[in-house]
């Protein structure tokens, strides 16, 4: 971080007196095409309302202010005016204006700044050349800074946002996109892109939201320790706000926006989409989809637990959607790919029984209503949900259901099922020479992170805690560097630089982005996709950082979900001094 000192004077609005302050400009990071900075003010008096005018050396491409309660009042060419959105109060003492600047060619230096009507001393020095954001070295005992990776993972989710981005957007190469997503009068703007593409696939979308919620509920301390709780809440609310729009009536839920085949033929920025309006697909009473409705119910029920103490009114809305979607899934049973053309991408091989049990279990946890626990028992028998699964994933929720029930009921039947799964993974599943549990070729690190998270949950249910926590730590540490390199973009030693991901592969505007200079660019991605977990190595720890390898080097929102939850859980153990 670069530090530059200056002195400034400004007028206190409302009081009329001059208030002098010392300040400094700090450049937090500078990437190709954008930089982040903080303008610190050491205020001698309290300021109630404020406005600042920044004049840059030449026109900028974008500007974001990250202060809560602040807004951009004017932006034109090389001038930006910012201020408080409502009555605000800060000072006396140190306070900062946190801002991000995006540019097209040369870096535009801040030339003049005015704060509350008074010129500041603007002897600002340009930031250093673009560099990779430094990360902290591993801890002396070989552990990693889980809190740092947790924060980076949340930045990955921000890079996947669709729709109109908030003023707090930290991903400077991203802008508003797909603002015309709709079905008739139903607004479907928002949500998340699935992976390296731009489709909103509702089934894995709902799954990763449920899993993120689960980690926030059970490992909130880890998020707080990392200073990332608000970013985590923002991440899941971005999902849940979209799902509310996607559920306009009790027996109607939109489960896909975009055509997978059309989308996969396009390589470019989502902001530059040129292929016209995108189709949307839904489930109804006539064409039901119990997997989709059940998983969406679970995401709403777990979301209720996240927000019930933060925003009770919002949480009540989430719970209402959860209950109606569960009834929809249970009463009108059917396979969702009979209604939605996602079978070639996210076919439900495990059927819908696991989602019915999963949704009922989350509703029982949210409401403590015994009807839902009775339904779990019914589904458990009808769909053989106590059988040992092969994985935990967007498709198969049985392992998650078993350990969730073990924790919330302490019933030995569920604890035995959870133990059988973790013992199978630890003792029987193939490992790479360097110790990675290798469950599947497609997204091998996604699968190892998923089972690590399940076994951390089992440990917290009192099941073999020492063994299961040691196993989970080993698997997560493999992804962070113990496997010989980092598999998290922007973190650690030799991280991936060319993930299979469209928007981060694109050069800065006004350069076009297509297969030639995006996908087929022989160099690294032009933008850093901070925090993304790539698919991972083969069975012999084999891996090449190749953008064209969508099996080992693509990223996806479901890849990071349980990985992020495991990071939060390990951070809690580290804070408590219980890390293996």
DSSP code per residue over 443-465: THHHHHHHHHHHHHHHHHTTSSH
C-alpha to C-alpha distance for 128 and 111, rounded to whole angstroms: 16
Rounded average pLDDT over 345-368? 97
Do residues 164 and 284 both lie within one domain? yes
Is residue 118 predicted with pLDDT exceeding 70?
A: no
What's the number of domains the chain is made of?
A: 2
Residue 112 has pLDDT above 70, yes or no: no
Report d(CA 10, CA 91) in Å as an integer: 13
pLDDT of residue 4: 36
Strand partners for 37: 27, 99
The predicted pLDDT at position 108 comes to 72
**Is 208 a member of any domain?**
yes
Q: Which of 76, 92, 125 is the last residue of a domain?
A: 125
Please report whether residue 137 resides in a domain.
Answer: no
Q: Please state which of the ranges 204-218, 294-308, 513-527 shows the lowest mean pLDDT.
A: 513-527
Q: Are residues 156 and 121 in the same domain?
A: no
In a domain, 401, yes or no: yes
User: Domain holding 208: CATH number?
Assistant: 1.50.10.10
pLDDT at 416: 98
Question: Mean pLDDT highest for which of 53-62, 101-110, 274-283, 518-527?
Answer: 274-283
Residue 41 pLDDT: 74
Q: What is the pLDDT of residues 215-274, one digit of tens each?
A: 999 999 999 999 999 999 999 999 999 999 999 999 999 999 999 999 999 999 999 999
Per-residue pLDDT, 390: 97
Looking at the structure, tell me whether residues 215 and 83 fall in a common domain. no
Give the pLDDT mean for 533-560: 97
DSSP string of 346-382, one letter each residue:
H--TT-SHHHHHHHHHHHHHHH--HHHHHHHHHHHHH
Q: How far is CA 96 from the centre of its chain?
A: 26
Residue 195 lies in a domain: yes
Same domain, 157 and 99: no
| pLDDT tens digits for range 48-83 | 788 888 888 878 877 878 777 788 888 888 888 888
Long-range pairs, 223-230, Cβ under 8 A, ≥24: 223/150, 223/568, 225/147, 225/571, 225/572, 225/575, 226/146, 226/147, 226/148, 226/150, 226/151, 226/568, 226/571, 227/147, 227/151, 228/147, 228/150, 228/151, 228/154
DSSP letter (8 states) at residue 388: P
**152/59 same-domain check:** no
For residue 14, what pLDDT band results from cuts at 50, 70 and 90? very low
- Determine the average pLDDT of the residues in 191-215: 98
pLDDT at position 89, please?
75
For residues 135 and 145, the answer to whether their CB atoms sit within 8 Å is yes
Q: What percent of the chain has pLDDT over 70?
A: 89
Determine which one of 218, 482, 554, 558 is catalytic: 554
Is 173 found in the same domain as 111? Answer: no
pLDDT score for 113: 65
The answer to whether residue 138 is domain-embedded is no
Please indicate, yes or no, if residue 51 is contained in any of the structural domains. Answer: yes
Please enumerate in sequence order all residues whose Cβ is within 8 A of that of 304, keeping only pairs 6 or more positions apart, or say none: 315, 316, 318, 319, 322, 366
Confidence of residue 9 (pLDDT cuts 50, 70, 90): very low
Q: Helix (H, G, I), strand (E, B), or coil: what is residue 42?
A: strand
State the pLDDT at residue 18: 32
Domain boundary among 125, 155, 177: 125
**Residue bearing the bigger pLDDT, 99 or 521:** 521
> What's the pLDDT band for 508 if we cut at 50, 70, 90?
confident
- Mind listing the pLDDT tens digit for each residue in 24-53? 677 766 665 677 788 777 777 787 788 888
Across residues 518-532, what is the average pLDDT? 92
Statement to judge: residues 108 and 171 lie in one domain: no
311 assigned to active site: no
Q: Could you tell me if 207 and 354 lie in one domain?
A: yes
Q: Which of 95-109, 306-320, 410-424, 431-445 has the lowest mean pLDDT?
A: 95-109
Q: Per-residue confidence at 19, pLDDT binned at 50, 70, 90?
A: very low
Give pLDDT, residue 119.
61
Q: Is residue 49 part of a domain?
A: yes
**Shared-domain flag, residues 211 and 108:** no
Average predicted confidence (pLDDT) for the chain: 89
Which candidate in 545, 558, 575, 576 is catalytic? 545
Residues 184 and 48 in one domain: no
pLDDT of 334 above 90: yes
The helix, strand and coil proportions of the chain, stated in percent and rounded to the nearest 5, come to: 40, 20, 40
Please indicate whether residue 545 is annotated as part of the active site: yes
* pLDDT 10s digits, 439-492: 999 999 999 999 999 999 999 999 999 999 999 999 999 999 999 999 999 999
| Long-range CB contacts for residues 364-367, cutoff 8 Å, separation at least 24 | 364/408, 365/301, 365/302, 365/305, 365/404, 365/408, 366/301, 366/302, 366/304, 366/305, 366/319, 366/322, 367/319
Q: Which two tokens stand for residue 253?
A: 């839920």
Of 94, 125, 156, which residue constitutes the final position of a domain?
125
Tokens of 534: 């790539």
Alpha-carbon span 577 to 453, nearest angstrom: 19
151 and 116 share a domain?
Answer: no
* Residue 78: predicted pLDDT: 86
Please, what sign has the CA dihedral across residues 154, 156, 157, 162? Answer: positive
Could you tell me which residues are beta bridge partners of residue 96?
40
- Domain enclosing residue 101, as ranges: 6-125
Both 86 and 119 in one domain: the answer is yes
pTM of the model: 0.82
Domain containing residue 81: CATH number: 2.60.40
Burial class (CB in 10 A: 0-12, 13-18, 19+), 567: buried
CA-to-CA distance for 34 and 61, rounded, in angstroms?
A: 9
Distance between CA 126 and CA 121 in Å, rounded?
15
- Is residue 136 included in any domain, yes or no? no
d(CA 529, CA 517): 17
């Amino acid at each position: 971080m670069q530090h530059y000192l200056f002195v400034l004077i400004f007028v206190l609005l409302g009081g009329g007196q001059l208030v002098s302050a010392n300040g400094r400009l700090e450049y937090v990071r500078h990437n190709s095409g954008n930089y982040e900075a903080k303008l610190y003010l050491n205020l001698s008096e309290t300021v109630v309302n404020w406005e600042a005018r920044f004049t840059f050396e030449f026109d900028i491409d974008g500007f974001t202010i990250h202060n809560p309660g602040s807004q951009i009042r004017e932006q034109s060419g090389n001038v930006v005016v910012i201020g408080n959105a409502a009555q605000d109060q800060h000072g006396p003492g140190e306070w900062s204006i946190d801002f991000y600047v995006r540019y097209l060619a040369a870096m535009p230096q801040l030339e003049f700044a005015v704060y509350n009507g008074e010129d500041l001393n603007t002897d600002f020095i340009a930031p250093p050349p673009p560099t990779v954001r430094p990360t902290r070295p591993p801890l002396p005992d070989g552990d990693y800074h889980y809190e740092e990776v947790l924060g980076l993972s949340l930045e990955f989710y921000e890079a996947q946002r669709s729709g109109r981005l908030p003023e707090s957007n930290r991903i400077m190469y991203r802008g508003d996109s797909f603002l015309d997503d709709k079905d008739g009068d139903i607004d479907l703007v928002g949500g998340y892109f699935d992976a390296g593409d731009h489709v909103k696939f509702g089934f894995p979308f709902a799954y990763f939201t449920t899993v993120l919620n689960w980690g926030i509920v059970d490992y909130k301390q880890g998020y707080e320790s990392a200073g990332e709780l608000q970013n985590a809440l923002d991440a899941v609310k971005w999902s849940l706000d979209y799902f509310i729009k996607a559920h306009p009536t009790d027996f109607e839920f939109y489960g896909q926006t975009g055509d997978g085949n059309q989308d996969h033929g396009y390589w470019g920025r989502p902001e530059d989409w040129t292929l016209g309006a995108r189709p949307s697909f839904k489930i109804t009473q006539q064409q039901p989809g119990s997997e989709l409705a059940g998983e969406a119910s679970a995401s709403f029920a777990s979301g209720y637990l996240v927000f019930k103490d933060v925003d009770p009114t919002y949480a009540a809305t989430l719970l209402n959607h959860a209950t109606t979607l569960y009834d929809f899934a249970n009463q009108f049973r059917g396979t969702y790919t009979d209604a939605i053309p996602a079978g070639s991408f996210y076919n439900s091989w495990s059927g819908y029984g696991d989602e019915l049990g999963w949704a009922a279990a989350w509703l029982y946890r949210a409401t403590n209503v015994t009807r839902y626990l009775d339904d779990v028992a019914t589904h458990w028998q009808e769909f053989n949900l106590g059988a040992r699964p092969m994985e935990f994933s967007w498709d198969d929720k049985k392992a998650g259901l078993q350990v969730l029930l073990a924790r919330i009921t302490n019933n030995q039947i569920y604890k035995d099922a959870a133990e059988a799964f973790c013992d199978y993974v630890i003792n029987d599943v193939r490992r790479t020479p360097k110790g990675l549990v290798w469950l599947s070729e497609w997204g091998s690190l996604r699968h190892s992170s998923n089972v690590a998270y399940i076994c951390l949950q089992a440990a917290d249910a009192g099941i073999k805690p020492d063994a299961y926590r040691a196993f989970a730590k080993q698997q997560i540490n493999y992804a962070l560097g113990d496997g010989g390199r980092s598999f998290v973009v922007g973190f650690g030693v030799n991280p991936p630089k060319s993930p299979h991901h469209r928007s981060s592969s694109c050069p800065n505007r006004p350069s076009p982005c297509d297969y030639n200079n995006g996908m087929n660019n022989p160099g690294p991605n032009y933008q850093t996709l901070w925090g993304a977990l790539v698919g991972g190595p083969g069975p012999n720890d084999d891996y090449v950082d190749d953008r064209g390898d969508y099996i080992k080097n693509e990223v996806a929102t479901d890849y990071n979900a349980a990985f992020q939850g495991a990071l939060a859980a390990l951070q809690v153990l580290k804070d408590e001094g219980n890390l293996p």
